[in-house]
Amino acid sequence: MIFMAIVQDIEVPDSAARSARAADELQDAVGEKMVLNMGPSHPATHGVLRIVLELDGEIITKADPDVGYLHRGDEKIAENMTYTQFIPYTDRLDYLAPLANNVAYALAVEKLLGIEKDLPPRCQYIRVMCAELARISAHLLGLGAFAMDLGAVTVFLLSFTEREKIYDLAEAISGARFTTSYTRIGGVARDLPPGWLEQCRKFCDEFIPALNEFETLLTRNRIWVDRVRDLAVISKSDAIDYGLSGPNLRGSGVEYDLRRNQPYLCYKDLEFDIPTGAVGDCYDRYLVRMEEMRQSVRILEQCIRKIPGGADNQSNEPVNVADGKITLPPKQKVLSSMEELIHQFMLVTEGVNCPPGEIYFGHENPKGELGFYICSKGGGTPYRMKIRSPSFVNLSIIPKIFQGAMISDTVAILGSLDFVMGECDR
Amino acid sequence: MTAIESAKKIKARFGDLISEPAEFRGETTLQLADAEKIAEVCACAKNDLGFDYLVDISSVDNYGDDPRWTVVYHLRGLRHGGELRIKTGVSEEKSELPSVIDVWKTANWHEREIFDMMGIRFSGHPDLRRILMWEGYPYFPLRKDFPLAGKPTELPGVAFTKTAPLEGGPFVTVAGGGDATGREPRVRPPKE
């Protein structure tokens, strides 16, 4: 009896085997598809990005990025506070380049006020230096993390040695290493401290040899080149169609840089080149970032040389717009003069009174174009503020470029896209 | 070709549907009267006028006004460097307009975000899911009638029930009100 039962089991396949056979007959002759969840806590996702990968063996057939794990509602928060109060929130967008975010936001509000042309030259130079230092800092981390994900841990440690010096510079001007909140509407929080320019020049002098060292570790390293070359090629037309910006756009050979094409601050007076890639692969994006750091140093050196007032500002060049309705008056005046007291009171309680209207300002941030769309109905708070974050837009190309890549390539592609989730999710 | 010339060409092509170009701080804005035509206008701007780059799509909630939604498109031509903003109003009853995903692929995530935050739907969008909030979240948090503090809910962990740190503070504005004075809580008479 027992023997009979076993024979029967073999003759009549169970439901699981039946459905597997049916699936085989239908399609999927190559192999079974597998769904793999990557993130949100994964060392290569640089934050909290989650990607649902559909795999055929080791080949990715479909990728579905899932963002929003770091959503804090910055746009809603912005509608409920004055323009100045939002500055600290901009630190927390691209938290690898807070100084650049500060500059971008201040410029957007100044465009709404119509005073961006009235900014004192010294203030413009200080802001350019801030933005370029932030660019170097962000690219260094992007590069270090990119290399570490592919096994080159040394680069990460070396790049952090250099970043440490930038943090020291940020601390000297703003008092904070990370959350700088350095700009104000119509100027900056305070002038450069004594000796800062010298410290910055020293950084520039030391940085180029360090950068050369990174290049010897990576640029012609056979292992590195084999891992990143011809990987995740983004064509020129795709880069434009998907709205990529920053090094990801330029890596695909599109020569577009807001500092050049829509010059703001004093970028018109400064000489720099815009590196572009030829192929649009991960290697090109890496090369573009390396060259951008060199160009940033070039800009920094020109700024140090040309900044009005020089290191100690003997000639008392202003760093703020001379308008009591926009920037806070000097404290001594507030304590001794009625008008300045009123200005201070109104600015602190009601904020900068912006005209009704709407503007969009795009700033060339390290990750790409950080834009602010401000819709104002007058008064000290925006009616609506939309943040166009470069990481959000850059990540939207993932389903396209992940298709057909190997699973081990994911970390390389993510590293080359160089995104920050704080900015993507807002 | 400057932005204003492009704006005039679009105006000539679509006639009364398009408002006169408005200039503010060096930016050109066009208002489109019929939201159903937005894909057509965008395709014309891209194919005939060289606006090949969609910078951003935003949305504004004009709470208390009709139409309630404004959807804002920022266009840029990488070759000629011109920028153009196209706005269109969508009524609250309809809350739907055509997707421009066939014109620019980057519109995909922008439109998903607007759907997620404001609840405006885009017809023809292949994958209109929430993007920043999670699937199943019941509200549209960027609407002006959604309070900063969140809403009380039966479901645990779906929306916050605690008071937000800024709630009741001097700068927490209220929905509606034509001007800043009307939205400022301090000028309203205190509650009994």
Which pLDDT tens digit goes with each residue over A80-115? 888 988 999 999 888 888 999 999 999 999 999 988
The pLDDT score that the predictor gives to residue A31 is 57
pLDDT band per the 50, 70, 90 thresholds, residue A403: confident
Q: Is the pLDDT of residue B161 over 70?
A: no
The pLDDT score that the predictor gives to residue A20 is 58
The pLDDT score that the predictor gives to residue B164 is 56
B180 and B107 in one domain?
no
B104-126 mean pLDDT: 91
B131 and B151 in one domain?
no
Which of these ranges, A63-67, A149-153, A269-273, A290-294, has the smallest mean pLDDT? A149-153
| Tens of pLDDT, residues A371-396 | 999 999 888 889 999 999 999 999 99
The pLDDT score that the predictor gives to residue A22 is 56
| Tens of pLDDT, residues A60-87 | 888 889 898 888 889 988 988 889 889 9
Interface with chain B: mutation pick from A259, A360, A376, A393, highest number of B CBs within 10 Å = A360
pTM for the structure as a whole: 0.84
For residue B171, give the chain A residue with the closest CA. A81
For residue B127, give the chain A residue with the closest CA. A64
Longest dimension (CA), chain B: 61
B191 and B107 in one domain?
no
Least CB–CB distance from B142: residue in A75, A256, A392: A75
HEC string of chain A? CHHHHHHHHHHCCCHHHHHHHHHHHHCCCCCCEEEEEECCCCHHHCCCCEEEEEEECCEEEEEEEECCCCCCCHHHHHCCCCCHHHHHHHHCCCCCCHHHHHHHHHHHHHHHHCCHHHCCHHHHHHHHHHHHHHHHHHHHHHHHHHHHHCCCHHHHHHHHHHHHHHHHHHHHHHCCCCCCCCEECCEECCCCCCCHHHHHHHHHHHHHHHHHHHHHHHCCCHHHHHHHCCCCCCCHHHHHHCCCCCHHHHHCCCCCCHHHHCCCCCHHHCCCCCCCCCCCCHHHHHHHHHHHHHHHHHHHHHHHHHCCCCCCCCCCCCCECCCCCCCCCCHHHHHHCHHHHHHHHHHHHHCCCEEEEEEEEEEEECCEEEEEEEEEEEECCCCEEEEECHHHHHHCCHHHHHCCCEHHHHHHHHHHHCCCHHHHHC
| Tens of pLDDT, residues A300-341 | 999 999 888 888 888 888 888 888 788 888 888 888 889 889
pLDDT band per the 50, 70, 90 thresholds, residue A41: confident
Residue B55, min C-alpha distance to chain A (Å) = 7
For residue B175, give the chain A residue with the closest CA. A383
B159 and B92 in one domain?
no
| Tens of pLDDT, residues A180-224 | 989 989 889 888 898 899 999 999 999 999 999 888 888 888 888
Query: Across all residues in chain B, what is the average pLDDT?
Result: 80
The pLDDT score that the predictor gives to residue A247 is 92
CB contact under 8 A, B171 and A371: no
Q: Is B31 on the interface with A (CB under 8 A)?
A: no
d(CA A285, CA A269): 27
Q: Is A59 on the interface with B (CB under 8 A)?
A: no
CB contact under 8 A, A349 and B148: no
Query: Across all residues in chain A, what is the average pLDDT?
Result: 86
The pLDDT score that the predictor gives to residue B187 is 47
CB contact under 8 A, A359 and B27: yes
In chain A, residues with a C-beta closer than 8 Å to the C-beta of B141 are 73, 76
Least CB–CB distance from B55: residue in A85, A112, A388: A388
The pLDDT score that the predictor gives to residue A334 is 86
Q: Is A263 on the interface with B (CB under 8 A)?
A: no
CB contact under 8 A, B178 and A262: no
| Tens of pLDDT, residues A221-241 | 888 888 888 888 899 999 999
Q: Is the pLDDT of residue B125 over 80?
A: yes
Cβ–Cβ under 8 Å, residues A367 and A420:
yes
Q: Is B180 on the interface with A (CB under 8 A)?
A: yes
The pLDDT score that the predictor gives to residue A360 is 93
Q: Is the pLDDT of residue A272 over 60?
A: yes
CB contact under 8 A, B24 and A358: yes
| Tens of pLDDT, residues A130-158 | 999 999 999 999 888 898 888 888 888 88
Least CB–CB distance from B142: residue in A76, A358, A369: A76
CB contact under 8 A, B56 and A360: yes
Half-sphere exposure of A310 (CA within 13 A, CB side): 3
In chain A, residues with a C-beta closer than 8 Å to the C-beta of B54 are 243
CB contact under 8 A, B132 and A67: yes
The pLDDT score that the predictor gives to residue A320 is 87
The pLDDT score that the predictor gives to residue A318 is 85
Q: Domains of chain A: which residue ranges?
A: 74-425
Q: Which domain holds residue B113?
A: 3-142
The pLDDT score that the predictor gives to residue B114 is 93
CB contact under 8 A, A240 and B53: yes
A113-136 mean pLDDT: 91
Which of these ranges, A67-76, A270-279, B93-102, B170-179, has the smallest mean pLDDT? B170-179
CB contact under 8 A, A80 and B171: yes
Q: Is B159 on the interface with A (CB under 8 A)?
A: no
CB contact under 8 A, A68 and B105: no
For residue B112, give the chain A residue with the closest CA. A396
Secondary structure letter of residue B27 according to DSSP = E
pLDDT band per the 50, 70, 90 thresholds, residue B15: confident
Q: Is the pLDDT of residue A7 over 60?
A: no
Q: Residue B147's CB: how many other CB atoms inside 10 A?
A: 16
Q: Is the pLDDT of residue B72 over 90?
A: yes
The pLDDT score that the predictor gives to residue B184 is 58
The pLDDT score that the predictor gives to residue B120 is 92
CATH number 1.10.645.10 given to A74-425: yes
Residue A240, min C-alpha distance to chain B (Å) = 6
Total domains present in chain B: 2
B110 and B187 in one domain?
no
For residue A361, give the chain B residue with the closest CA. B27
B33-39 mean pLDDT: 87
CB contact under 8 A, A426 and B27: no
For residue A49, give the chain B residue with the closest CA. B132
A259-277 mean pLDDT: 89
B135 and B62 in one domain?
yes
Q: Which of residues 45-64 of B touch A (CB under 8 A)?
A: 52-56, 58-61
Least CB–CB distance from B173: residue in A79, A357, A375: A79
CB contact under 8 A, A81 and B171: yes
For residue A375, give the chain B residue with the closest CA. B60
Which of these ranges, A209-218, A383-392, B82-91, B181-190, has the smallest mean pLDDT? B181-190
B161 and B134 in one domain?
no
pLDDT band per the 50, 70, 90 thresholds, residue B17: confident
Interface with chain B: mutation pick from A235, A396, A423, highest number of B CBs within 10 Å = A396
